[in-house]
């Protein structure tokens, strides 16, 4: 065995060194970046309960509004309003909203009529809702979302100290037993772990529209969506990438602050949704793109080099495997608490599969976004 080790080809040494380098990069991200989320503790501060406006944009969401809107309208909070922007719906959305308006005086809605000569995305509806809001603190969610607790508004709002302009929360997906559902929920938790940990590290770069808050004054002081209005997505991540910094941004990850929404039911629909979300990555700030790309690329090459070396260099199989196992256990230790917090502990056993699948999917979607033309969709 010792002779075989001494006779290792130089190319194998190069590949092994590259494998080890990616291992070190992965350890750094898990121990010094992602681990910030698992160790995070909210600071208890005496922050007054300021009035809040909740904004929901809806297009053909009659069924979901009837099912999920009550969780938003029955929050245990002294002063808030709910604004629903009915954006060109052709179903019974307006009827449902009229029914709720009779029961809940805090609900208001406005309707955008369809114009065959003019098409628009969600950003127009979002802007109309923001203009209609009476209060400076705005909380955003979607029509197919519900709050896990009647303390949702309170938990989000308690982060708005005088210097806070942006609060990012977690919006997960409803659980079922399919493999696709597990993949979608794992992806959502991993993305949340990324943007929460980067925010804690002083580099906030995105939020999700399913659970996001910022000030009305911040929106207009930064000219709203003007810099990316023509881009299909980005009402949440591109705007946050534009305005958030280490001083004005906070995260909220308590269970009471979370929302859940309906996941896609087919792989094709989910890929289209994910492709639309990934299309905004190229517009991120250079630092954010670099930090995210390093993690994804190092993860991809870590798995690739592991498989390559395992089959190409039998004499080092024990060393190669040992490094792989260390990285896997570090990952599990770090994400275990995070996944429990986001009620996704059942996904830990699938982490090895999804951890490899998602970089491959993301690379494929990036290539697709570059070469395949996009058609504008509202959501």
Residue 348: count other Cβ atoms within 10 Å of its Cβ.
15
For the ranges 11-15, 134-138, 230-234, the lowest mean pLDDT is seen at 230-234
Pair 201, 36: CB distance under 8 Å: yes
Residue range 104-122: mean pLDDT, rounded: 85
pLDDT of the residue at 374 = 53
Q: How far apart are the first and last CA of the chain?
A: 59
Q: Give the residue extent of every domain in the chain.
A: 2-39+288-371, 52-266
* Residue 336, token pair as written in the block: 């275990």
pLDDT of the residue at 292 = 94
Q: Is the pLDDT of residue 50 over 60?
A: yes
Pair 270, 196: CB distance under 8 Å: no
Q: Is the pLDDT of residue 119 over 90?
A: no
To which H or E segment does residue 249 belong? Answer: strand 249-251
- Pairwise pLDDT comparison (136 vs 5), residue with the higher score: 136
pLDDT of the residue at 311 = 83
Pairing of strands 212-215, 166-168: antiparallel
3-state class (DSSP) for residue 112: strand
Q: Is 91 exposed, middle or buried (0-12, 13-18, 19+ CB in 10 A)?
A: middle
Q: What is the pLDDT of residues 26-45, one digit of tens each?
A: 999 999 999 999 999 887 77
Residue 130 to residue 224: CA distance in whole angstroms? 10
Q: Is the pLDDT of residue 369 over 80?
A: no
Residue range 51-55: mean pLDDT, rounded: 98
Q: Report residue 364's pLDDT band, with 50, 70 and 90 as the boundaries.
A: confident
For the ranges 21-25, 134-138, 350-354, 366-370, the lowest mean pLDDT is seen at 366-370
* Residue 232, token pair as written in the block: 């299909």
For the ranges 119-123, 129-133, 175-179, 318-322, the lowest mean pLDDT is seen at 119-123
3-state class (DSSP) for residue 118: strand
For the ranges 11-15, 20-24, 374-378, the lowest mean pLDDT is seen at 374-378
Pair 112, 88: CB distance under 8 Å: yes
Q: Give 46-109 as a DSSP string.
A: ------EEEEEEESS-HHHHHHHHHHHHT-S-SSEEEEEEEES--SSHHHHHHHHHHH-TTEEE
Q: What is the percentage of the chain residues whose pLDDT exceeds 90?
A: 73
Rg (CA), the chain: 23
Pair 97, 60: CB distance under 8 Å: no
pLDDT of the residue at 44 = 74
Cβ contacts of 56 within 8 Å, gap of 6 or more: 69, 72, 82, 83, 84, 85, 129, 140, 141, 142, 143
For the ranges 119-123, 264-268, 362-366, the lowest mean pLDDT is seen at 362-366
Strands in 249-251's sheet, in edge-to-edge order, are 107-112, 80-87, 52-58, 137-142, 212-215, 166-168, 249-251
Integer angstrom CA distances of residue 48 from 78, 143, 162, 252: 11, 28, 10, 17
52-266 fold:
Spore Coat Polysaccharide Biosynthesis Protein SpsA; Chain A (3.90.550)
Q: Which of 54, 65, 30 is nearest to 135 (CA)?
A: 54
pLDDT of the residue at 361 = 85
Integer angstrom CA distances of residue 260 from 142, 148, 163: 10, 7, 29
pLDDT of the residue at 81 = 98
pLDDT of the residue at 27 = 97
Q: What is the pLDDT of residues 249-306, one digit of tens each?
A: 999 999 999 999 999 999 999 988 888 878 788 889 999 999 999 999 999 999 999 9
Name the average pLDDT for the chain.
90
Residue 309 to residue 307: CA distance in whole angstroms? 6
């Amino acid at each position: 065995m010792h002779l075989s080790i001494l006779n290792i080809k130089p190319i194998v040494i190069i590949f092994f060194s590259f494998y080890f380098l990616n291992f070190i990069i992965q350890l750094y991200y898990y121990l010094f970046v992602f681990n910030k989320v698992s160790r995070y503790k909210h600071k208890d501060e005496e922050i007054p309960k300021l009035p809040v406006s909740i904004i929901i944009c809806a297009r053909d969401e009659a069924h979901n509004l009837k099912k999920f809107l009550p969780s938003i309208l029955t929050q245990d909070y002294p002063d808030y309003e709910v604004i629903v922007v009915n954006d060109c719906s052709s179903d019974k959305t307006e009827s449902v909203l009229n029914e709720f308006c009779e029961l809940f005086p805090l609900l208001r809605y406005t309707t955008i009529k369809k114009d065959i000569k003019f098409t628009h995305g969600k950003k127009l509806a979002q802007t109309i809702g923001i203009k209609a809001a009476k209060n400076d603190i705005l909380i955003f969610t979607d029509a197919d979302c519900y709050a896990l607790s009647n303390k949702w508004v309170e938990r989000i709002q308690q982060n708005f100290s005088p210097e806070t302009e942006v609060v990012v929360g977690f919006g997960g997906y409803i659980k079922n037993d399919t493999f696709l559902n597990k993949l979608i929920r794992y992806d959502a938790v991993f993305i949340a772990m990324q943007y929460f940990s980067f925010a804690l590290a002083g580099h906030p770069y995105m939020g999700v529209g399913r659970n996001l808050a910022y000030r009305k004054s911040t929106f207009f002081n930064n000219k709203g969506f003007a810099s990316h209005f023509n881009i299909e997505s980005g009402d949440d991540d591109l705007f946050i990438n534009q305005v958030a910094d280490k001083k004005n941004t906070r995260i909220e990850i308590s269970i009471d602050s979370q929302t859940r929404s309906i996941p896609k039911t087919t792989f094709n629909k989910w890929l289209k949704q994910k492709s639309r979300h990934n299309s905004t990555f190229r517009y991120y700030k250079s630092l954010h793109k670099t930090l995210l790309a390093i993690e994804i690329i190092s993860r991809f090459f870590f798995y690739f080099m592991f498989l390559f070396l395992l089959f190409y260099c039998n004499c080092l199989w024990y060393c190669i495997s040992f490094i792989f196992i260390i990285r896997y256990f570090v990952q599990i230790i770090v994400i275990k608490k995070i996944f429990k917090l986001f009620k996704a502990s059942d996904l830990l056993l699938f982490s090895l599969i999804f951890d490899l699948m998602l970089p491959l999917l993301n690379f494929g979607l990036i290539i697709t976004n570059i070469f395949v033309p996009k058609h504008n969709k509202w959501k």
